Structure 1
Amino acid sequence: MLDTTDSASSQTGWLDAYDLTRKQRIFVLAYLEELNATDAARRAGYAHPNTQGPRLLVNVGISAAIDFGLQRLEDTLMIRAEDVRRHWWMIATADARDLVAIIKTCCRYCYGLKHEYQWRTEREYRDARNAAVLKRFRKARQMDCTDFDQFDHPSLPSSAGGFGYKAINAPNPECPECEGLGVPTVQLADTRELPAKAALLYDGVRQGANGPVIQMQNRSVALYQLARAMGLIN
């Protein structure tokens, strides 16, 4: 609906250059909205809109204001059309790897001593060994875990591979366990630092059974919408 309140004055200030009356200004704005002289005259409050509307169009000041207003509308619509095309183009050509990627990391045996299982820290090893002792030996369930060193069995975790495992390291081509292929690892992007295209492609996150799952806009749909915006398809 046409806004004729003072709050819209900043958007209609261009009409000041045409020395129009209040009614004429409203007529121009209404005409730009509907391109119907009779309806515009009626909305501006003229007594005989059927006859006065068409006559107002030949008024020099009104005619010049309408011409300028139409040019402003065309420019605005063109900018909006370009923005729409740019939006769909960025989504359609975004690289999903900026959001989520599968990388190859070293396995636990790649850099362990003599390619034995390597632990991140001594605490990780100790926690794993204590858990294994509790699971295997009923007697341990009534004991303090600081006494678990007395238990020994080939199935218990060993620290022979040493410590210092870092998943960020590349696979070791000499590793007899993974044969240098490493371990496929899903790496999620920090959504606070996404490139512009990836930020548009990003459509939120949901909690899956195995952790967070990044959701994405459909790039095929974006490509279709881009084609429509460019007039390539109906």
Structure 2
Amino acid sequence: MDTNSNSSDNHSPDSANLLPRSIDWAAIHLAYTTSSSSTRDIGRAHGVTHAAIGKRARREGWERPEKEEPVSAKLAKLEPRQQRFVEEYMVDMNATQAAIRAGYSTETAEQIGYQLLQKTSVVEAISKARQAQQERTAITADTVLMEIANVALADARELVEVKTGCCRCCYGEGHKFQRTLLEMNSDRERWLDKGKDPSEFDEQGGIGFNPLLLPNSDCPNCGGDGQARTVLKDTRHLSPRAVALYAGAKQTKEGIEIKMHSKLDALEKLAKHVGLYEKDNTQKNDPLALRNMTDAERAVRMSSLLQANPALVATLAQLMATGAQQ
């Protein structure tokens, strides 16, 4: 059956776009006064012409934010070797090695690196370069801290589990060695292949072995303790925390070895970040005197400081709770 796409009964996206819509001038004002986006880009995002934005901005006295000085301008104010030092320092954050690669003497590189990091112009250039780097890579301090928190709070059982099930004799007849059906048939075939009397084949505890069953407390072989086995989890179905903890796998003579990042190291980094160590609580840049607070007061204070990142607050609160339980 033919249909008429031009029929008035058909509401195409184009016809929907013809409907009038309200203009969010509050959002436009925010973008105009706080971002570096052009009026054309702002207008395109909000469905209004750049001319209309300019007219309203002039009428209401909107002001554009000051343009930030680009990294190249910051570097241009430095001497050539200082510029090279900033570029090399961004590679590994090692002042001594950066000074050497920038052309300073290896004998005085450590001292020169320290002195350069005391210069306001160099520090500003590094700060600007680091900010630009974070914008390019989308890696911020919060991103790194969340990854550390994921490692610290991950459950290693998501990667490897030790499961204890019944032993071979738990449910065998007379608590004798129990086989699976496949094992029984295979053993019987080998017995017959050797030309032995079928009637003399020892079925022992019969068939039906299932390692997933719980241990039998009456088993004389294992005493109810069962038999442990290692189970490796499918890495395609891991939680974000387990992914952060996972450091790879290696095939060894004994089997597959699962590698993990150190939870203890991650916990130590987080503990320092929230000021749990006494030496960190007494640092000059700690205006909160955390060492004089109770754990509850410290958690409340840290939460108030990190309100801008609710996910991070929740993670750190969980860390505090874990430490309190231990």
1:184 lines up with 2:228 in the alignment: yes
For residues 1-234 of structure 1, the aligned pairs below 5 Å read 14=36, 16=38, 28-30=69-71, 34=75, 80-121=140-181, 123-128=182-187, 145=193, 147-149=195-197, 152=200, 158-227=202-271
Q: What letter is aligned with 1:204?
A: G
Unpaired stretches in structure 2, ≥5 consecutive residues? 1-34, 40-53, 55-66, 80-127, 284-326
How far did residue 83 of structure 1 move?
1.1
Unpaired stretches in structure 1, ≥5 consecutive residues? 1-12, 20-24, 40-69, 134-143
Q: What letter is aligned with 2:196?
A: F
Higher RCO, 1 vs 2 (CA within 8 Å, ≥6 residues apart): 1
Measure the CA separation in 2 of the matches of 1:216 and 1:98. Answer: 11
Measure the CA separation in 2 of the matches of 1:194 and 1:84. Answer: 20
> Is the CA contact (8 Å cut-off) linking 1:105 and 1:184 kept in structure 2?
yes
Measure the CA separation in 2 of the matches of 1:87 and 1:79. Answer: 11
Cα 1:201–1:151 change in 2 (3 A) is same
| Superimposed CA distance per residue, residues 108-130 of structure 1 (whole angstroms, 9 cap, x where no aligned partner) | 00111121111011x31343466
> Is the CA contact (8 Å cut-off) linking 1:119 and 1:164 kept in structure 2?
yes
Q: What letter is aligned with 1:186?
A: T
Measure the CA separation in 2 of the matches of 1:149 and 1:33. Answer: 93
Q: Give 1:59's aligned residue.
A: none
Give the match's secondary structure for 1:86: helix
Q: What letter is aligned with 1:194?
A: L
Measure the CA separation in 1 of the matches of 2:171 and 2:146. Answer: 48
| Normalised TM-score (structure 2) | 0.43
Q: Give 2:315's aligned residue.
A: none
* Aligned residue pair count: 166
How far did residue 28 of structure 1 move?
3.3
| Superimposed CA distance per residue, residues 45-65 of structure 1 (whole angstroms, 9 cap, x where no aligned partner) | xxxxxxxxxxxxxxxxxxxxx
| Normalised TM-score (structure 1) | 0.57
Q: Give 1:6's aligned residue.
A: none
| Superimposed CA distance per residue, residues 30-52 of structure 1 (whole angstroms, 9 cap, x where no aligned partner) | 46755x7689xxxxxxxxxxxxx
Measure the CA separation in 1 of the matches of 2:180 and 2:214. Answer: 15
How far did residue 160 of structure 1 move?
2.9
